Structure 1
Amino acid sequence: MDVIKQFNNAIAYIENNLCGEIDTNKIAEIALCPYDKFKRFFSYMTNMSVSEYIRKRRLTLAAYELLKDQEKIIDLAVKYGYSNADSFTRAFAKQHGILPTEVSSDTSLKVYPPVSFYVAIKGASELNFKIVDMDEVKLKGISKQFIGKAADRFEQEHIMWSNQHDDVQNQVCKTVEGVWYGIWNNGIYSIAKKANEIDDNPSLASITIPSGKYAVFSTDFGGFAGDVLPKLREQIFDCWLPDSGYTQTDDYEIEVYYLYPKSEKYKRHYEMWLPIDMSLR
């Protein structure tokens, strides 16, 4: 495992110098191997080159700064190693899909958390997120006390959602297609839909998603919730939160299920909403 430690030390050197010059000889010195060998290992493990990783990390940090302070474009260009504002703007737009001047709290950004080498690799994969000021959402649904922490809830969720077990979804609404909510609130998990989208049912509890600032993370189209949501949550908590500087305000997480299995216009995908502190640490 000394090799893993040395390579992580090399990554730490890269992270500490994203705003300055990164010396490939220094990377080789820290990793205790030729730089070509480090590059091959890095590319094999992450499916991207070292230079691509550095570029994506710099543009990730630049996006965070624009969200926080609305820095001048030329200042960010210089800070992250671009020769002029135009080249920075082109690179930023290629990664994030928008111009730096278009960044606001509710725009979607493509950020790359820092990589770390373990037995498994975390980070260095695309993560779609945006910061949204959310209005209050009124829902109706069914809640259940879960055992354990938020990260361990997904097996219990499966039992609630499954039509072979609790079949809570069918108890809430007979129509599967549409937008559904799975809400973790300090150990209580709820399956719900918007109150105005379901028939009046006195057995359903009223559930309110409070207004506030949320980080919203989106999955790709397709896939099944039981596979993609645990992976998305792991990426958020292991990589994005420590890197972004935001803090979760409560033990409260929202899963949003966009269930359109037969629709051409709308496709099945999922989101996770996390309440966050309004200021960066």
Structure 2
Amino acid sequence: MLQRLNQALGYVEEHLDGEVDAAVLARIAATSEYHLRRMFSALAGMPLSEYVRRRRLTVAGAEVLAGRESLLDIAVRYGYGSGEAFARAFRAVHGVGPGEARRTGAALVSQPRLSFRLTVEGSAGMRYRVVDRPDFAVVGFRARVPLVHAGPNPSIVGFVRGIDRAALAHLGELSDREPRGTVSVCDDVDPSRAEGTELDYYHGVLMSSGAARTADLPEGTAVLGVPAGTWAVFTAEGPMPSAVQNLWRDVFTEWFPSTPYRSRPGPEILCVRPSAEAEREAGEAVGRGAAGGAVGRGAADGAAELWLPVEREPQGWERG
């Protein structure tokens, strides 16, 4: 997988002064465009489109300083329809306009060419299973929130705190699909996974499609139908949310490159339960009359299941 990704990066370098089509890159990488964008973002720490833009402006910056061509000619070669558009993009990356950079020989910012390599580390094996599931429904309260890569997501925290506890408890009684109980679900996530891009967040339960159509649901709940498909289920334990965020990173940087699976469009489902140690600490604190502080500390630790929609990569003869 990494070899194919590097071949795709070679194509990028050859077409910086032309069109870089993500669909073509996906064919070179022998995967789907959806999975390519997500894999690249996880491995490179930036969206594919941002990498292409930065590489173009790095190469264009060298030509600006060389002074052999007009700024407009350079702008057109690298896909900008006007000198003004080129100047805005140039300044966003380099912190200085192309005209000033040429006049003063200013120092510019360089985006190095990326090359993905496998690093073998002594980390513990990743626990996972792959399951097929019939269609089901996500039933819960929904909000549109920004994506946050590290630490708590303030928008989600505020949203969940505002949910009526009685309504959420009623939903919990209707849960009839694994993982049971209250779950967090992210849908319509931008494939680039760029920080700040928006997604649909559901706080609710999983139900069979039939039950979701006929159940007496609390006012304000939303229903997301999910078609039948294959899911990879990963587990993690530790402080939340960092344990889950690290797990997601490891899935895309370690698991996908080494397995015959790729991600596919669909909701990501997270189920977090307090760890046994956290529950024990909370129980002991209740006996001492100090539940609040202990529960607050213990709630940071938990056991999580992360369900990601996947599909098998087609074999060579199936790709055509």
Q: Does TM-score exceed 0.5, indicating one fold?
A: no
Larger Rg belongs to: 2
With the length of structure 1 as denominator, give the TM-score of the two structures.
Answer: 0.40
TM-score by length of 2: 0.36
